[in-house]
A = this chain, B = another copy of it.
Amino acid sequence: MPKNQHVLIIGAGLCGSLLALRMAQRGYQVSVYEKRPDLRKITLDSGRSINLAFSNRGNKAMKLVGIDQQVKTLCIPMHGRMLHDTAGKTIFAPYSGRENEYINSISRNDLNALLLTEAEKRNNVSIYFNNKCVSVDFENTSALFYNYESKNEHVINADVIFATDGAGSAMRKSYYLGKKFLFSFSQDYLTHGYKELSILPDKTGAHKTFKNALHIWGREAFMLIALPNLDGSFTVTLFLSYDDGTYNFNNLTTEARVLEFFSTYFKDALKLMPNLVEDFFKNPTSPLGTVKCSPWHYKGNTLLMGDAAHAIVPFYGQGMNASFEDVVEFDQVLEAHPNPESKSDWETIFKVYEAKRKKDTDAIADLAIDNFHEMKGHVNNAVFREKRNLEMALEKEFPNDYASKYSLVTFNENIGYREAMLKGRAQDKAILNMLTDGVISLNDDLEVNLKKIKQETEAILEDDRIAGLK
Protein backbone atom coordinates (compact mmCIF):
# COMPACT_ATOMS: atom_id res chain seq x y z
CA MET A 1 0.00 0.00 0.00
CA PRO A 2 1.54 3.33 -1.02
CA LYS A 3 2.22 6.10 1.47
CA ASN A 4 0.00 8.39 -0.54
CA GLN A 5 -3.19 6.41 -0.04
CA HIS A 6 -6.51 6.91 -1.77
CA VAL A 7 -9.27 7.62 0.72
CA LEU A 8 -12.82 7.37 -0.63
CA ILE A 9 -15.52 9.25 1.28
CA ILE A 10 -19.16 8.50 0.49
CA GLY A 11 -21.31 11.54 1.22
CA ALA A 12 -20.34 15.23 1.25
CA GLY A 13 -22.69 16.31 4.02
CA LEU A 14 -21.46 17.93 7.21
CA CYS A 15 -19.47 14.95 8.46
CA GLY A 16 -18.12 13.88 5.07
CA SER A 17 -16.91 17.31 4.03
CA LEU A 18 -15.23 17.88 7.41
CA LEU A 19 -13.57 14.46 7.22
CA ALA A 20 -12.41 15.19 3.66
CA LEU A 21 -10.81 18.44 4.81
CA ARG A 22 -9.08 16.77 7.76
CA MET A 23 -7.81 13.76 5.82
CA ALA A 24 -6.52 16.15 3.14
CA GLN A 25 -4.71 18.14 5.83
CA ARG A 26 -3.09 14.87 6.83
CA GLY A 27 -1.86 14.34 3.28
CA TYR A 28 -4.19 11.64 1.94
CA GLN A 29 -5.55 11.61 -1.61
CA VAL A 30 -9.24 12.18 -0.96
CA SER A 31 -12.18 11.53 -3.31
CA VAL A 32 -15.67 12.43 -2.14
CA TYR A 33 -18.82 11.20 -3.89
CA GLU A 34 -22.10 12.91 -3.11
CA LYS A 35 -25.61 11.94 -4.20
CA ARG A 36 -27.03 15.48 -4.32
CA PRO A 37 -26.07 18.39 -6.58
CA ASP A 38 -23.56 20.92 -5.26
CA LEU A 39 -25.63 22.87 -2.72
CA ARG A 40 -23.55 25.99 -3.41
CA LYS A 41 -24.95 26.11 -6.94
CA ILE A 42 -28.66 25.65 -6.35
CA THR A 43 -31.25 27.95 -4.82
CA LEU A 44 -33.52 26.80 -2.04
CA ASP A 45 -37.24 27.33 -1.69
CA SER A 46 -37.93 30.26 0.58
CA GLY A 47 -38.95 29.18 4.05
CA ARG A 48 -36.93 25.96 3.68
CA SER A 49 -33.81 27.19 5.39
CA ILE A 50 -32.93 24.45 7.83
CA ASN A 51 -30.89 25.27 10.88
CA LEU A 52 -29.19 23.25 13.55
CA ALA A 53 -27.82 23.71 17.06
CA PHE A 54 -24.06 24.17 17.06
CA SER A 55 -22.12 23.98 20.32
CA ASN A 56 -18.78 23.20 21.94
CA ARG A 57 -18.19 19.69 20.62
CA GLY A 58 -18.82 20.85 17.07
CA ASN A 59 -16.64 23.90 17.59
CA LYS A 60 -13.75 21.75 18.78
CA ALA A 61 -13.80 20.13 15.34
CA MET A 62 -13.87 23.54 13.63
CA LYS A 63 -10.80 24.54 15.64
CA LEU A 64 -9.07 21.30 14.64
CA VAL A 65 -9.35 22.21 10.96
CA GLY A 66 -8.80 25.93 11.60
CA ILE A 67 -12.11 27.44 10.49
CA ASP A 68 -13.75 28.30 13.82
CA GLN A 69 -13.56 32.05 13.21
CA GLN A 70 -15.32 31.73 9.84
CA VAL A 71 -17.99 29.54 11.40
CA LYS A 72 -18.57 32.10 14.14
CA THR A 73 -19.86 34.59 11.56
CA LEU A 74 -22.62 32.12 10.63
CA CYS A 75 -23.84 31.68 14.23
CA ILE A 76 -26.72 33.23 16.14
CA PRO A 77 -26.17 32.69 19.88
CA MET A 78 -29.10 31.21 21.83
CA HIS A 79 -28.56 31.79 25.53
CA GLY A 80 -31.50 29.77 26.78
CA ARG A 81 -34.94 28.41 26.18
CA MET A 82 -37.84 30.81 25.77
CA LEU A 83 -40.79 28.84 27.14
CA HIS A 84 -44.21 29.85 25.80
CA ASP A 85 -47.34 28.79 27.70
CA THR A 86 -50.79 28.42 26.13
CA ALA A 87 -51.73 31.97 27.17
CA GLY A 88 -48.67 33.27 25.32
CA LYS A 89 -46.79 34.11 28.51
CA THR A 90 -43.04 33.52 28.27
CA ILE A 91 -40.31 32.54 30.71
CA PHE A 92 -36.65 32.64 29.75
CA ALA A 93 -34.68 29.65 31.08
CA PRO A 94 -30.93 30.03 30.54
CA TYR A 95 -28.88 27.04 29.36
CA SER A 96 -26.16 27.75 31.90
CA GLY A 97 -25.33 29.88 34.90
CA ARG A 98 -22.04 30.76 33.18
CA GLU A 99 -22.18 33.73 30.78
CA ASN A 100 -19.86 32.20 28.20
CA GLU A 101 -21.92 29.01 27.81
CA TYR A 102 -24.56 29.14 25.10
CA ILE A 103 -25.54 27.26 21.97
CA ASN A 104 -25.87 28.62 18.44
CA SER A 105 -28.32 28.44 15.61
CA ILE A 106 -26.57 27.85 12.30
CA SER A 107 -27.77 27.20 8.76
CA ARG A 108 -27.02 23.65 7.69
CA ASN A 109 -26.42 24.80 4.13
CA ASP A 110 -24.13 27.71 4.97
CA LEU A 111 -21.96 25.51 7.16
CA ASN A 112 -21.86 22.68 4.65
CA ALA A 113 -20.95 25.13 1.88
CA LEU A 114 -18.07 26.51 3.94
CA LEU A 115 -16.74 23.02 4.64
CA LEU A 116 -16.96 22.03 0.96
CA THR A 117 -15.16 25.18 -0.14
CA GLU A 118 -12.41 24.73 2.44
CA ALA A 119 -11.97 21.08 1.43
CA GLU A 120 -11.85 21.89 -2.27
CA LYS A 121 -9.11 24.47 -1.67
CA ARG A 122 -6.76 21.54 -1.05
CA ASN A 123 -5.36 20.10 -4.26
CA ASN A 124 -5.54 16.56 -2.86
CA VAL A 125 -9.37 16.64 -2.57
CA SER A 126 -11.82 15.95 -5.41
CA ILE A 127 -15.56 16.16 -4.86
CA TYR A 128 -17.99 14.54 -7.31
CA PHE A 129 -21.65 15.54 -7.01
CA ASN A 130 -24.74 13.79 -8.43
CA ASN A 131 -23.21 10.39 -7.69
CA LYS A 132 -25.38 8.13 -5.63
CA CYS A 133 -23.77 5.21 -3.86
CA VAL A 134 -25.62 2.01 -4.82
CA SER A 135 -23.65 -0.46 -2.70
CA VAL A 136 -20.24 -1.08 -1.20
CA ASP A 137 -18.16 -4.19 -1.81
CA PHE A 138 -16.53 -4.00 1.60
CA GLU A 139 -14.49 -7.16 1.03
CA ASN A 140 -12.78 -5.57 -1.96
CA THR A 141 -12.79 -1.95 -0.73
CA SER A 142 -14.75 -0.64 -3.68
CA ALA A 143 -18.03 1.18 -4.09
CA LEU A 144 -20.59 1.24 -6.88
CA PHE A 145 -22.05 4.63 -7.85
CA TYR A 146 -24.85 5.74 -10.14
CA ASN A 147 -24.13 9.01 -11.89
CA TYR A 148 -27.35 11.01 -12.31
CA GLU A 149 -25.88 13.02 -15.18
CA SER A 150 -24.36 10.27 -17.34
CA LYS A 151 -26.98 7.78 -16.08
CA ASN A 152 -24.22 5.18 -15.79
CA GLU A 153 -22.98 3.04 -12.96
CA HIS A 154 -19.27 2.98 -12.18
CA VAL A 155 -17.01 1.39 -9.58
CA ILE A 156 -14.48 3.29 -7.49
CA ASN A 157 -11.64 1.42 -5.80
CA ALA A 158 -9.84 2.82 -2.79
CA ASP A 159 -7.35 1.96 -0.10
CA VAL A 160 -9.92 2.76 2.57
CA ILE A 161 -13.56 3.80 2.37
CA PHE A 162 -15.39 6.04 4.83
CA ALA A 163 -19.19 6.13 4.60
CA THR A 164 -20.60 9.41 5.87
CA ASP A 165 -23.78 9.04 3.86
CA GLY A 166 -26.24 9.72 6.63
CA ALA A 167 -29.04 7.90 8.39
CA GLY A 168 -30.00 5.96 5.25
CA SER A 169 -26.39 4.92 4.54
CA ALA A 170 -25.89 2.70 1.50
CA MET A 171 -22.78 1.15 3.03
CA ARG A 172 -24.64 0.26 6.23
CA LYS A 173 -27.26 -1.40 4.04
CA SER A 174 -24.50 -3.40 2.34
CA TYR A 175 -23.22 -4.51 5.76
CA TYR A 176 -26.76 -5.58 6.72
CA LEU A 177 -27.72 -7.33 3.52
CA GLY A 178 -24.28 -8.85 2.94
CA LYS A 179 -24.58 -11.21 5.91
CA LYS A 180 -20.81 -11.74 5.84
CA PHE A 181 -20.42 -11.04 9.55
CA LEU A 182 -22.63 -10.62 12.62
CA PHE A 183 -24.01 -7.12 12.23
CA SER A 184 -25.99 -5.74 15.15
CA PHE A 185 -28.41 -3.10 13.98
CA SER A 186 -31.38 -1.16 15.25
CA GLN A 187 -33.76 1.42 13.86
CA ASP A 188 -36.17 2.83 16.42
CA TYR A 189 -38.89 5.27 15.46
CA LEU A 190 -40.73 7.52 17.84
CA THR A 191 -44.51 7.51 17.40
CA HIS A 192 -44.11 11.25 16.77
CA GLY A 193 -43.07 12.77 13.46
CA TYR A 194 -42.01 16.33 12.63
CA LYS A 195 -42.85 19.04 10.14
CA GLU A 196 -40.85 22.17 9.38
CA LEU A 197 -42.67 25.50 9.31
CA SER A 198 -41.45 29.08 9.44
CA ILE A 199 -41.77 32.52 10.97
CA LEU A 200 -40.77 34.92 8.20
CA PRO A 201 -38.92 38.22 8.88
CA ASP A 202 -40.96 41.37 9.52
CA LYS A 203 -41.23 44.11 6.89
CA THR A 204 -37.88 45.58 7.93
CA GLY A 205 -36.19 42.19 7.61
CA ALA A 206 -35.86 41.81 11.38
CA HIS A 207 -36.78 38.87 13.59
CA LYS A 208 -40.43 38.98 14.70
CA THR A 209 -39.58 37.72 18.20
CA PHE A 210 -36.54 37.49 20.48
CA LYS A 211 -33.79 36.01 18.40
CA ASN A 212 -31.23 34.89 21.01
CA ALA A 213 -33.23 31.96 22.34
CA LEU A 214 -34.52 28.56 21.32
CA HIS A 215 -38.29 29.05 21.55
CA ILE A 216 -40.32 26.15 22.95
CA TRP A 217 -44.07 25.68 23.10
CA GLY A 218 -44.13 22.44 25.16
CA ARG A 219 -47.58 20.84 25.46
CA GLU A 220 -46.80 17.43 27.04
CA ALA A 221 -48.12 15.33 24.16
CA PHE A 222 -46.56 17.51 21.45
CA MET A 223 -44.43 20.62 20.99
CA LEU A 224 -43.38 23.39 18.68
CA ILE A 225 -39.88 24.90 18.61
CA ALA A 226 -38.27 27.78 16.72
CA LEU A 227 -34.61 28.57 15.97
CA PRO A 228 -33.46 31.87 14.43
CA ASN A 229 -31.85 32.35 11.01
CA LEU A 230 -29.48 35.14 9.92
CA ASP A 231 -32.04 36.37 7.33
CA GLY A 232 -34.51 37.40 10.05
CA SER A 233 -36.65 34.28 9.81
CA PHE A 234 -37.09 31.42 12.26
CA THR A 235 -37.27 27.78 11.28
CA VAL A 236 -40.16 26.34 13.26
CA THR A 237 -40.62 22.62 13.86
CA LEU A 238 -43.78 20.88 15.01
CA PHE A 239 -43.30 17.54 16.80
CA LEU A 240 -46.59 15.65 16.94
CA SER A 241 -47.88 12.09 17.10
CA TYR A 242 -48.86 10.43 13.85
CA ASP A 243 -51.86 8.66 15.39
CA ASP A 244 -52.58 9.52 18.99
CA GLY A 245 -54.49 12.34 20.63
CA THR A 246 -57.21 14.69 19.47
CA TYR A 247 -54.87 16.41 17.03
CA ASN A 248 -52.30 14.35 15.16
CA PHE A 249 -50.57 14.34 11.78
CA ASN A 250 -53.02 11.81 10.38
CA ASN A 251 -56.08 13.89 11.17
CA LEU A 252 -54.77 17.43 10.55
CA THR A 253 -55.98 17.25 6.98
CA THR A 254 -57.85 20.51 6.51
CA GLU A 255 -56.97 24.18 6.79
CA ALA A 256 -59.67 24.63 9.44
CA ARG A 257 -58.30 21.79 11.62
CA VAL A 258 -54.74 23.13 11.42
CA LEU A 259 -55.85 26.65 12.38
CA GLU A 260 -58.02 25.29 15.18
CA PHE A 261 -55.07 23.29 16.52
CA PHE A 262 -52.66 26.22 16.41
CA SER A 263 -55.13 28.75 17.81
CA THR A 264 -55.87 26.39 20.71
CA TYR A 265 -52.31 25.51 21.62
CA PHE A 266 -49.92 27.96 19.96
CA LYS A 267 -51.90 31.22 19.80
CA ASP A 268 -48.90 33.55 20.11
CA ALA A 269 -46.93 31.61 17.53
CA LEU A 270 -49.85 31.59 15.12
CA LYS A 271 -49.89 35.40 15.16
CA LEU A 272 -46.34 35.36 13.78
CA MET A 273 -47.15 32.75 11.13
CA PRO A 274 -49.61 34.05 8.52
CA ASN A 275 -47.94 31.54 6.19
CA LEU A 276 -48.77 28.58 8.49
CA VAL A 277 -51.35 26.81 6.37
CA GLU A 278 -49.31 27.09 3.22
CA ASP A 279 -46.19 25.74 4.97
CA PHE A 280 -48.16 23.00 6.66
CA PHE A 281 -49.50 21.48 3.47
CA LYS A 282 -46.41 22.12 1.36
CA ASN A 283 -43.82 20.60 3.68
CA PRO A 284 -43.50 16.88 4.31
CA THR A 285 -44.06 15.11 7.60
CA SER A 286 -40.92 13.17 8.46
CA PRO A 287 -40.21 10.40 10.97
CA LEU A 288 -37.91 10.65 14.00
CA GLY A 289 -35.59 7.70 14.23
CA THR A 290 -32.58 6.44 16.14
CA VAL A 291 -30.10 4.17 14.38
CA LYS A 292 -27.44 2.20 16.21
CA CYS A 293 -25.21 -0.50 14.79
CA SER A 294 -22.05 -2.48 15.38
CA PRO A 295 -19.42 -3.11 14.14
CA TRP A 296 -18.89 0.17 12.32
CA HIS A 297 -15.97 -1.16 10.34
CA TYR A 298 -15.26 -4.15 8.15
CA LYS A 299 -11.71 -5.22 8.92
CA GLY A 300 -9.31 -2.46 7.76
CA ASN A 301 -11.34 -1.73 4.63
CA THR A 302 -14.34 0.39 5.50
CA LEU A 303 -15.71 2.55 8.32
CA LEU A 304 -19.11 4.12 9.03
CA MET A 305 -19.05 7.61 10.56
CA GLY A 306 -21.58 10.30 11.52
CA ASP A 307 -25.28 9.59 11.05
CA ALA A 308 -24.44 6.52 8.96
CA ALA A 309 -23.13 4.92 12.17
CA HIS A 310 -25.42 6.57 14.72
CA ALA A 311 -28.44 8.63 13.76
CA ILE A 312 -30.17 10.29 16.71
CA VAL A 313 -33.32 12.31 17.35
CA PRO A 314 -32.76 16.08 17.41
CA PHE A 315 -33.85 16.88 20.97
CA TYR A 316 -30.43 17.43 22.53
CA GLY A 317 -29.21 19.56 19.64
CA GLN A 318 -26.25 17.19 19.37
CA GLY A 319 -26.68 15.38 16.03
CA MET A 320 -24.24 17.53 14.05
CA ASN A 321 -21.99 18.04 17.06
CA ALA A 322 -21.70 14.29 17.61
CA SER A 323 -20.81 13.73 13.95
CA PHE A 324 -18.17 16.46 14.07
CA GLU A 325 -16.82 14.98 17.28
CA ASP A 326 -16.47 11.64 15.44
CA VAL A 327 -13.89 13.33 13.20
CA VAL A 328 -12.05 14.79 16.21
CA GLU A 329 -11.96 11.43 17.95
CA PHE A 330 -10.93 9.61 14.79
CA ASP A 331 -8.18 12.16 14.25
CA GLN A 332 -6.88 11.52 17.78
CA VAL A 333 -6.66 7.80 17.05
CA LEU A 334 -4.84 8.53 13.78
CA GLU A 335 -2.46 10.77 15.71
CA ALA A 336 -1.69 7.93 18.11
CA HIS A 337 -1.23 5.44 15.23
CA PRO A 338 0.41 7.57 12.54
CA ASN A 339 1.19 6.41 9.01
CA PRO A 340 -0.98 3.32 8.67
CA GLU A 341 0.51 1.37 5.77
CA SER A 342 -1.44 -1.87 5.65
CA LYS A 343 -5.02 -3.10 6.00
CA SER A 344 -3.99 -4.44 9.36
CA ASP A 345 -2.84 -0.98 10.52
CA TRP A 346 -6.19 0.48 9.45
CA GLU A 347 -8.03 -2.33 11.19
CA THR A 348 -6.27 -1.48 14.44
CA ILE A 349 -7.20 2.19 14.01
CA PHE A 350 -10.85 1.37 13.26
CA LYS A 351 -11.07 -1.00 16.24
CA VAL A 352 -9.52 1.45 18.68
CA TYR A 353 -11.78 4.23 17.39
CA GLU A 354 -14.98 2.19 17.68
CA ALA A 355 -14.06 0.84 21.13
CA LYS A 356 -13.56 4.39 22.38
CA ARG A 357 -16.37 6.09 20.49
CA LYS A 358 -19.40 3.81 20.42
CA LYS A 359 -20.24 4.03 24.13
CA ASP A 360 -20.44 7.80 23.71
CA THR A 361 -22.68 7.83 20.63
CA ASP A 362 -24.94 5.24 22.29
CA ALA A 363 -25.18 7.59 25.27
CA ILE A 364 -26.10 10.70 23.27
CA ALA A 365 -28.76 8.67 21.43
CA ASP A 366 -30.38 7.81 24.76
CA LEU A 367 -29.96 11.33 26.15
CA ALA A 368 -31.68 12.75 23.07
CA ILE A 369 -34.73 10.55 23.67
CA ASP A 370 -34.80 11.62 27.35
CA ASN A 371 -34.71 15.26 26.30
CA PHE A 372 -37.75 14.81 24.07
CA HIS A 373 -39.78 14.10 27.21
CA GLU A 374 -38.05 16.89 29.12
CA MET A 375 -38.76 19.47 26.43
CA LYS A 376 -42.37 18.44 25.85
CA GLY A 377 -43.30 18.27 29.47
CA HIS A 378 -40.79 18.49 32.28
CA VAL A 379 -39.79 22.06 31.47
CA ASN A 380 -43.28 22.95 32.69
CA ASN A 381 -43.14 20.74 35.80
CA ALA A 382 -42.65 22.55 39.15
CA VAL A 383 -39.95 20.34 40.68
CA PHE A 384 -38.02 20.17 37.41
CA ARG A 385 -38.09 23.97 37.23
CA GLU A 386 -36.97 24.24 40.83
CA LYS A 387 -34.07 21.92 39.97
CA ARG A 388 -33.11 24.05 36.97
CA ASN A 389 -33.24 27.23 39.05
CA LEU A 390 -31.05 25.70 41.72
CA GLU A 391 -28.59 24.47 39.09
CA MET A 392 -28.39 27.89 37.43
CA ALA A 393 -27.62 29.44 40.83
CA LEU A 394 -24.94 26.80 41.48
CA GLU A 395 -23.33 27.31 38.07
CA LYS A 396 -23.28 31.07 38.60
CA GLU A 397 -21.93 30.95 42.16
CA PHE A 398 -19.53 28.02 41.67
CA PRO A 399 -18.62 28.17 37.97
CA ASN A 400 -15.68 25.79 38.40
CA ASP A 401 -17.39 23.38 40.77
CA TYR A 402 -20.79 22.60 39.30
CA ALA A 403 -22.10 21.64 35.87
CA SER A 404 -25.65 20.45 35.18
CA LYS A 405 -26.31 17.45 32.93
CA TYR A 406 -27.10 19.87 30.12
CA SER A 407 -23.77 21.65 30.66
CA LEU A 408 -21.83 18.40 30.90
CA VAL A 409 -23.29 17.25 27.58
CA THR A 410 -23.27 20.55 25.74
CA PHE A 411 -20.44 22.70 27.06
CA ASN A 412 -17.89 20.17 28.36
CA GLU A 413 -16.33 18.92 25.17
CA ASN A 414 -13.49 17.23 27.03
CA ILE A 415 -15.85 14.82 28.81
CA GLY A 416 -17.33 11.97 26.75
CA TYR A 417 -21.11 11.72 26.30
CA ARG A 418 -21.28 8.55 28.38
CA GLU A 419 -19.50 10.03 31.36
CA ALA A 420 -21.71 13.13 31.04
CA MET A 421 -24.81 10.94 30.96
CA LEU A 422 -23.91 8.82 33.99
CA LYS A 423 -22.89 11.78 36.11
CA GLY A 424 -25.70 14.00 34.85
CA ARG A 425 -28.41 11.42 35.48
CA ALA A 426 -27.12 10.68 38.99
CA GLN A 427 -27.01 14.42 39.73
CA ASP A 428 -30.57 14.92 38.46
CA LYS A 429 -31.79 12.00 40.56
CA ALA A 430 -30.01 13.36 43.65
CA ILE A 431 -31.46 16.86 43.27
CA LEU A 432 -35.02 15.77 42.38
CA ASN A 433 -35.17 13.38 45.32
CA MET A 434 -33.63 15.80 47.83
CA LEU A 435 -35.96 18.59 46.70
CA THR A 436 -38.99 16.27 46.96
CA ASP A 437 -37.93 14.99 50.39
CA GLY A 438 -37.15 18.51 51.66
CA VAL A 439 -33.49 17.64 52.26
CA ILE A 440 -32.50 20.71 50.24
CA SER A 441 -34.43 23.80 49.16
CA LEU A 442 -33.85 26.91 47.10
CA ASN A 443 -33.77 28.92 50.33
CA ASP A 444 -30.86 26.97 51.82
CA ASP A 445 -27.28 28.15 51.72
CA LEU A 446 -25.93 27.39 48.23
CA GLU A 447 -22.64 26.01 49.44
CA VAL A 448 -24.43 23.58 51.76
CA ASN A 449 -26.68 22.50 48.89
CA LEU A 450 -23.69 21.97 46.62
CA LYS A 451 -22.01 19.76 49.19
CA LYS A 452 -25.17 17.68 49.72
CA ILE A 453 -25.70 17.27 45.97
CA LYS A 454 -22.13 16.15 45.42
CA GLN A 455 -22.32 13.63 48.26
CA GLU A 456 -25.66 12.23 47.16
CA THR A 457 -24.57 12.03 43.51
CA GLU A 458 -21.47 10.09 44.50
CA ALA A 459 -23.57 7.78 46.71
CA ILE A 460 -25.96 7.06 43.80
CA LEU A 461 -23.08 6.27 41.44
CA GLU A 462 -21.47 4.03 44.06
CA ASP A 463 -24.72 2.14 44.73
CA ASP A 464 -25.10 1.48 41.00
CA ARG A 465 -21.51 0.29 40.78
CA ILE A 466 -21.99 -2.16 43.66
CA ALA A 467 -25.18 -3.50 42.10
CA GLY A 468 -23.26 -4.01 38.85
CA LEU A 469 -25.71 -1.74 37.05
CA LYS A 470 -23.21 0.58 35.40
**A interface vs B, CB < 8 Å?**
182-189, 242, 287, 289, 292, 373, 378, 425, 428-429, 432-433, 436, 463-464, 466-469
With contacts A463-B433, A466-B436 taken as known, whether A182 is within 8 angstroms of B287 at the C-beta atoms is yes
Cross-chain contact A187 with B184 (CB below 8 angstroms): yes
Among A186, A373, A428, A464: residue with most chain B CB under 10 A: A186
Cα-based distance from A242 to B373 in the complex (angstroms): 39
Tell me how many chains of this kind the complex includes: 2
Cross-chain contact A469 with B429 (CB below 8 angstroms): yes
- In this complex, what residue of B is CB-closest to A291? B186
Cα-based distance from A425 to B184 in the complex (angstroms): 26
Chain B min CB distance to A351 (Å): 10
**B-side contacts of A468, CB under 8 Å:** 373, 378, 432
- In this complex, what residue of B is CB-closest to A287? B182
Looking at chain A's contact residues, is the secondary structure mostly helix, strand, loop, or mixed? mixed
Return the contact of A467 from the options B185, B186, B429, B469 (Cβ within 8 A): B429
With contacts A182-B287, A287-B182 taken as known, whether A466 is within 8 angstroms of B433 at the C-beta atoms is yes
**B-side contacts of A183, CB under 8 Å:** 187, 189
13 cross-chain CB contacts under 8 A: A182-B289, A183-B187, A184-B186, A184-B187, A184-B188, A186-B186, A373-B468, A429-B463, A429-B466, A429-B467, A429-B469, A432-B466, A436-B466
Return the contact of A186 from the options B182, B187, B429 (Cβ within 8 A): B187
- In this complex, what residue of B is CB-closest to A383? B466
Cross-chain contact A185 with B182 (CB below 8 angstroms): no
Cα-based distance from A418 to B367 in the complex (angstroms): 22
- In this complex, what residue of B is CB-closest to A242? B182
Cross-chain contact A432 with B467 (CB below 8 angstroms): yes
- In this complex, what residue of B is CB-closest to A373? B468
Chain B min CB distance to A468 (Å): 7
**B-side contacts of A469, CB under 8 Å:** 425, 429
**B-side contacts of A466, CB under 8 Å:** 429, 432-433, 436
**B-side contacts of A187, CB under 8 Å:** 183-186
Cα-based distance from A120 to B463 in the complex (angstroms): 54
Closest 8 CB pairs of A and B: A186-B186, A429-B467, A182-B189, A184-B188, A184-B189, A432-B467, A436-B466, A433-B463
**B-side contacts of A185, CB under 8 Å:** 185-187
Among A184, A289, A469: residue with most chain B CB under 10 A: A184
Chain B min CB distance to A350 (Å): 14
Cross-chain contact A428 with B188 (CB below 8 angstroms): no
Cross-chain contact B184 with A428 (CB below 8 angstroms): no
Cross-chain contact A467 with B182 (CB below 8 angstroms): no
Chain B min CB distance to A413 (Å): 26
- In this complex, what residue of B is CB-closest to A187? B185
**B-side contacts of A184, CB under 8 Å:** 186-189
Cα-based distance from A185 to B293 in the complex (angstroms): 12
**B-side contacts of A378, CB under 8 Å:** 468
Cα-based distance from A237 to B105 in the complex (angstroms): 56
Cα-based distance from A199 to B470 in the complex (angstroms): 37
Cα-based distance from A338 to B187 in the complex (angstroms): 35
Cα-based distance from A188 to B436 in the complex (angstroms): 38
Chain B min CB distance to A291 (Å): 10
**B-side contacts of A429, CB under 8 Å:** 463-464, 466-467, 469
- In this complex, what residue of B is CB-closest to A381? B468
Given A185-B185, A425-B469, A432-B468, output 19 extra A-B contacts at Cβ < 8 Å.
A182-B242, A182-B289, A183-B189, A184-B186, A184-B187, A184-B189, A186-B186, A186-B187, A373-B468, A378-B468, A429-B464, A429-B466, A429-B467, A429-B469, A432-B467, A433-B463, A433-B466, A433-B467, A436-B466
**B-side contacts of A436, CB under 8 Å:** 466
**B-side contacts of A186, CB under 8 Å:** 184-188, 292
**B-side contacts of A464, CB under 8 Å:** 429
